[in-house]
Amino acid sequence: MKTALLVPTFLLFAVSATLAQTRNPVSSALREILPGRQKNIIAAVDQMPANKFDYKPTADQMTFGHLVTHIIESNNAFCSKAAAVPAPKVDEAKETDGKDKLAASLKSSFDFCSDALSKMDDSKLGETTEFFGGKQVTRAFVALVLSSSWADHYAMAAMYLRLNGLTPPSAKK
């Protein structure tokens, strides 16, 4: 006797919708992940008081301002390489720049990512590109690093906020 598998209708719709959209699964996933990561990272930077951008939890860790410059550089480099588009020509952000300037540069880097990823499809993911130290990696590798870096960077920003008595954006009701 066969038993029927009971699957809620909404799950069947979600699975069929996902299967219907697998032409560019990696680039589509990056485009879906970006808005949430962008929102939380920008909100975390906006939330940190300007006088805390030189804060670092220990002597061996980077300052919050350095974290922001690192995110800006990572967004511009990784989105460029993953999407096979030229990186934007921007003035280098410095950790000593004021909060307003760093926040504006951060937002611009996410705007660049949004634009770059809108042009991305999976057809070039097997191509190689130069990465850190001249290492050759695939664009797929860079796309995975990009996605994980957003999570890592937000986690760091959230930790810095908590260490300063502030609730990170994603933990607020």
Q: Please name which of 156, 173, 172 lies closest in space to residue 45, comparing C-alpha atoms.
A: 156
> What confidence category does residue 3 fall into, taking pLDDT thresholds of 50, 70 and 90?
low
| Res 19: pLDDT | 47
Q: Report if residue 7 sits inside a domain.
A: no
> How many other C-beta atoms can be found within 10 angstroms of the C-beta atom of residue 115?
13
Measure CA 119 to chain center: 17
* CA gap 68, 65 in Å, rounded: 5
**SS3 for 170?**
helix
Q: Does the structure show a pLDDT above 90 at 10?
A: no
Residue 165 in domain: yes
pLDDT surpassing 80 at residue 118: yes
Mean pLDDT of the region 133-142 = 96
What pLDDT is recorded for position 60?
A: 97
What single-letter amino acid sits at 97? D
* CATH number of the domain encompassing residue 111: 1.20.120.450
Asked whether residue 3 is assigned to any structural domain, the reply reads: no
Q: What is the pTM of this model?
A: 0.86
In angstroms, rounded to a whole number, what is the distance separating the alpha carbons of residues 65 and 150? Answer: 16
pLDDT at residue number 21: 53
Segment 109-136 shows an average pLDDT of 96
Q: Is residue 4 part of a domain?
A: no
In a domain, 131, yes or no: yes
In a domain? residue 64: yes
Distance (Å, whole) CA 86 – CA 113: 11
Whose tokens are 């300037």? That residue is: 101
Tokens of 136: 């050759």
> Over the chain, what is the mean pLDDT?
91
Determine whether 31 is exposed, middle or buried from the number of CB atoms within 10 Å of its CB (0-12, 13-18, 19+): middle
- What is the domain count for the chain? 1
Q: How confident is the model at residue 96 (pLDDT cuts 50, 70, 90)?
A: very high
- Who wins on pLDDT, 140 or 2? 140
Percent of the chain with pLDDT over 90: 85
State the Cα–Cα distance between residues 34 and 59, nearest whole angstrom: 32
Residue 16, domain member (yes or no): no
Range of the domain at 165: 26-171
For residue 78, being part of any structural domain is answered with yes
pLDDT tens digits, one per residue of 57-89: 999 999 999 999 999 999 999 999 999 999 999
Helix, coil or strand: residue 6: coil
C-beta of residue 86 within 8 angstroms of C-beta of residue 80: yes
pLDDT tens sequence across 14-55: 544 554 557 899 999 999 999 999 999 999 999 999 999 999
Query: Considering just the CA atoms, what is the radius of gyration of the chain in Å?
Result: 19
